[in-house]
Structure 1
């Protein structure tokens, strides 16, 4: 194996909780909710699937279904899909829906999994190429820079920059090409069996991890080092 491709959300990084997300935006806006109201509103946002990188919607509204299906193909579609879901929930100020979307793109909203740095650093030391292949509607590179992991990544292939989303094999192919790697000698690591499993169509080996809170998944990436030999 000569290279590893990683998914972003739920694989290398995890977004903050819905409650933390909402609380931060309310504080920034100088607004307050009682603790019960905040908890209920966060629960409603989570059920709506309004936090990118968080839980999927319990049910996608019929009028958003088409948009939801292609949300990662452009920045415009991504914003429209997630703010559309957010607006199903009543907030103290209508401007908070856009503020919530902006917040989730901030590096402070993301935490790397505890073993991410060790795995990426070790792969770099072994001379193994590393790529990030993500279904996303914004530039995640600042998240890697802020958390000190950008130095270990050789290529970023982001769906919104390519107008296609996983499991479309074109994204994995683009990443392999940037790394100069034969797909048959590449490992794809992700948390979504459908999206990330698309790499198998090119002959990549695929390894899955569970999309869990950071504190509940301290070492699930470490087996990648063994898989690379």
Structure 2
């Protein structure tokens, strides 16, 4: 069977969010707020433990019932996504209340994201081979500017984002929308992602699935390249 279309997850697959410390430093600098180095490092550690950075670590502690319910559907709308992550951020004391929204806003900027070293290479090779490419992401905001800013948008034929459809992975409806957008049958499609619970849902639709590890950019130079060997 020849693969005619490849669907990619975004965070942890094609791109990686900056570190929690880098995220906090950027927001404090923009807001002209100063913390001592020790305070900054401690606050970054607390934010990471809280799971406040979307695309970063998951919350370490059990969430209260109301926040747990919001967390479960956070990727179904822009409003739920912002509410969930700013609620997590607010579990950590910050020097000014406005910083919680500023942190959320920062994570949506292209500067907060880096493509993996082989992202452009693999997407470009798929385009050269005539393989359709889609991005299927559980997310609460428009990631297209990130792809444009990093020069890889020309390689993507369709974006299917959970918040735009009110459906999040592993629901097979999201993968079906992506296959339809590419004009490729699920049986001729490969889904590439870092989450077995979420991205593995594509297998229930009949797609082949390939997983990569969600690791820092410097630690994962070529995990996407094997995808090219899976294209018959």
TM-score interval, smaller chain: over 0.9
Q: CA deviation at 1:59?
A: 1.9
Q: Which residue of 83, 88, 98 maps to 2:86? A: 83
Q: Which residue of 202, 205, 208 maps to 2:205? A: 202
TM-score by length of 2: 0.98
* RMSD, aligned α-carbons: 0.5
Q: Which residue of 36, 51, 54 maps to 2:53? A: 51
Q: Which residue of 9, 15, 21 maps to 2:23? A: 21
How far apart are the structure 2 equivalents of 1:55 and 1:166? 18
Instruction: Confirm or deny that 1:92 pairs with 2:77.
Output: no
Q: CA deviation at 1:60?
A: 3.8
| 2:13 match: secondary structure | coil
Instruction: Confirm or deny that 1:114 pairs with 2:120.
Output: no
Listed one character per residue, the Cα deviations across residues 54-92 of structure 1 (whole Å, up to 9, x for unaligned) are: 000002421300000000000000000000000000001
Q: Which residue of 214, 217, 222 maps to 1:214? A: 217
How far apart are the structure 1 equivalents of 2:61 and 2:207? 33
Instruction: Confirm or deny that 1:182 pairs with 2:185.
Output: yes
Contiguous gaps of at least 5 residues in structure 1: none
Q: CA deviation at 1:121?
A: 0.1
Q: Which residue of 2 aligns with 1:125?
A: 128
- Report matched runs for 1:157-196 at 5 Å: 157-196=160-199
Q: Which residue of 2 aligns with 1:228?
A: 231
Q: Which residue of 1 aligns with 2:146?
A: 143
How far apart are the structure 1 equivalents of 2:95 and 2:22? 17
Contiguous gaps of at least 5 residues in structure 2: none
Structure 1 runs (4+) greater than 4 angstroms displaced: none
Q: Which residue of 104, 124, 148 maps to 1:101? A: 104
| 1:131 match: secondary structure | strand
